[in-house]
Chains A and B, each alone.
Chain A
Amino acid sequence: MLLVVEQFLNGLQFGLLLFLLAAGLTLVFGIMDFVNLAHGSLYMMGAYFAATFVAWTGNFIFGIILALGATLLLGIALEFVALRHLYGRDHLDHVLATFGLILFFNDAVRLIWGPAGLALSLPPWLTVPIQVVPGVFYPAYRLAIIVVALAVALLLYIVVMRTRLGMLIRAGASNREMIGALGINIKLLYTLVFGLGAALAGLAGMMQAPILTVQIGMGENILILAFVIIVIGGIGSIRGAFLAAIFVGLIDTLGRAFLPDLLRKILSSAAASTAAPALSSMLIYLLMAIVLVVRPEGLFPANRR
């Protein structure tokens, strides 16, 4: 039972982390109609910035804030120099251009930080275990991820649904010509949204960094997961991304934790130990395929408001 609670929290934490990544992706896709494969590179850059700045300043929180700013600026620069010229083009052009950016970022990181990974160590106050349920201790840092990600999700909801900026963003998503004609600087708005998405991806990267190592290509696997999430949730829908992210996080984590034992009850133990890792990696893709076959537009399509 204790294990179930712990794995459930792990799944929730992973899902929330995925939400941060998917939120930026679905914002950029829903509003600019832009497919950004390089989103995973921003996630990676966020982690590298965090490792560098935390080591440089010697202060965890301060380093994270600097890294967030750096990722935001990087996103804005990227949008300003290259990507804004691609809006309105074919999706395939987006795929090709941002695929090129992935290649670029991977080698740029190798050039600057070297091929070996970095470690981002936690300050002592984040490493103590906290008792969540009587008898269940859970690392403070993972709890902190859950709290921060929930706070960011709430903030994002308030910004998009309750502020003037959010109103403009939503208006831009439904009719970009009209909002431009009404005198809104749509280019600036797009740059801002892209920067926001980049910062969210960077935040996800730097929060994941102390758990896994910071390394080249860390953004690629998780990017595919983020794509799976926005497709399941319905492209452009933040609410859909939130629910789908938690769902995917839980299924992936619980599948990896309990599927081997479950299979062992049905199959021979040798067959189970070979089938389980592959099957648990496949689970979410299977889920996505089922969702798309049953509801080709995702669970919460954004366009049918």
Chain B
Amino acid sequence: MKGLFNVRNAAAVLVVAGLLLLPLYTTLSGNVFALTLFTRIVIFALAASSLNLIMGYGGMMSFGHAAYLGIGGYAVGILAAEGVGSGFIQWPVALLASALFALVIGALSLRTRGVYFIMITLAFAQMAYYVASGLSRYGGDDGLTIYKRSDFGGLINLSNRVQFYYLCLGCLFAGLYLIWRIVRSRFGMVVQGLRSNEQRMQAIGFPATRYRLACFVISGTMCGLAGALLANNTDFVSPAVMYWTRSGDLMVMVILGGMGSLFGPVIGAIVYLVLEEFLSQVTEYWALILGPLLLLIVLFGRGGIDGLLGRFSRG
């Protein structure tokens, strides 16, 4: 980290400025679609960043992260369906439910390593998916329509597009700040140390599983928040948000942007979703291009976009 002026930091500043000023552009140009798209992008950026916390810094390759999107979403949706419209109740419940789920599956999954960890997190997410499909009172397979967005009294109006966008953006920045603080704290150092050399850390006397579990729960809770936002954004929640390809999408965003870099997943989410949107407008068969593109990125672009920027910085 020599000098503040390098390509990597410039990209981060550019992204932050762009995201902050976007509503100005959409209001002036009347391009409502861009605001809708970027609200979705910001929410997924939050989810991808939460995954980055355990994957990039903690070395825990969770392939079931979309489960929290669903749990956060269903907490909001179910409470709304039962007549509890207040966001002051809905959102804490969403966070708490995600945290509890993360605590339980984390405690079990963290007994395994490597590919087994990837697979057991996947299995738990699939279980959550099937539970949601079985909730016939709340729509089952077809999903649950949310007729009224979370109500925060006079504080903020979620039905206003611009206000909702800034709320999502605020959550993203808060999440990134939290990750930044965690990574630089003693706790974060221990978690990163465990990724590098678990045996040595244990020999020094750190309880590996307890630290990992705490990190896992923080990440899950953060993703649950993204789930609550997503449900409010689409006014709808269905088991499909928990399907394993959704977890794959999140993983792709993190790796595409650059694992273990603070802004990498944000850039990854923007690139992935904008690319998806752009290609699907060009051709119906957009995945025909996106798929090989991912393959090429893996083959030739190690470290994702952030790695690419880092190489530029070094010249």
Q: Write the residues of chain A forming the contact surface with B, with a CB cutoff of 8 angstroms.
A: 29, 35, 37, 82, 85-86, 89, 91-93, 95-97, 99-108, 110-111, 220, 224, 227-228, 231, 235, 274-275, 277-279, 281-282, 285-286, 288-289, 292-293, 296-298
Contact = CB atoms under 8 A, between A and B. Distances in A.
Given A228-B119, A286-B127, A100 B255 contact: no
Contact of A100 (B113, B118, B290): B290
Contact of B111 (A89, A285, A296): A296
B63 A95 contact: yes
A106 B255 CA distance: 22
A103 B124 contact: no
A108 B290 CA distance: 12
B130 A111 contact: no
Contact of A96 (B109, B112, B126, B255): B255
Contacts of A92: 55, 61, 251, 255, 259
Nearest to B256: A96
9 contacts: A29-B115, A95-B248, A100-B292, A224-B122, A227-B122, A278-B130, A278-B135, A289-B120, A296-B113
Contact of A289 (B124, B251, B286, B295): B124
B44 to A, nearest CB: 16
Interface residues of B, number: 47
Interface string B256-274: 1001000000000000000
Contacts of A293: 108, 111
Contact of A274 (B61, B63, B108, B134): B134
Q: Report the 4 A-B pairs with minimum CB-CB distance, sorted nearest first.
A: A278-B134, A100-B294, A104-B291, A103-B291
Interface string B136-159: 110000000000000000000000
Contacts of B244: 220, 224
A225 to B, nearest CB: 10
A106 B252 CA distance: 17
Contacts of A97: 294-295, 298-299
Contacts of B114: 91
Given A92-B255, A231-B119, A277-B134, 17 more contacts: A35-B118, A93-B298, A96-B251, A97-B294, A99-B251, A100-B294, A110-B285, A231-B116, A274-B135, A278-B130, A278-B133, A281-B134, A289-B120, A292-B108, A296-B111, A296-B112, A298-B116
B84 to A, nearest CB: 22
B123 A228 contact: yes
Given A278-B131, A296-B116, A85 B299 contact: yes
A281 B133 contact: yes
B11 interface: no
Contacts of B124: 285, 289
Contacts of A275: 134
Given A91-B118, A100-B298, A293-B108, A107 B130 contact: no
B13 interface: no
Contacts of B137: 274
Contacts of A110: 285
B287 A103 contact: yes
Given A91-B61, A292-B120, A282 B131 contact: yes
A284 to B, nearest CB: 9
Nearest to A106: B287
B204 interface: no
Interface string B86-121: 000000000000000000000011011111101110
B288 interface: yes
B294 A96 contact: yes
B16 interface: no
A235 B115 contact: yes
Contacts of A296: 111-113, 116
Given A92-B255, A227-B122, A297-B116, A99 B134 contact: no
B115 A102 contact: no
B185 interface: no
B270 to A, nearest CB: 17
B293 interface: yes
B245 A108 contact: no
B194 to A, nearest CB: 17
B30 to A, nearest CB: 33
A95 B290 CA distance: 15
Contacts of B252: 96, 99-100
B126 A108 contact: no
A231 B109 CA distance: 13
Interface string B272-315: 00000000000001111011111101110000000000000000
B115 A91 contact: yes
A93 B130 CA distance: 28
A86 B61 contact: no
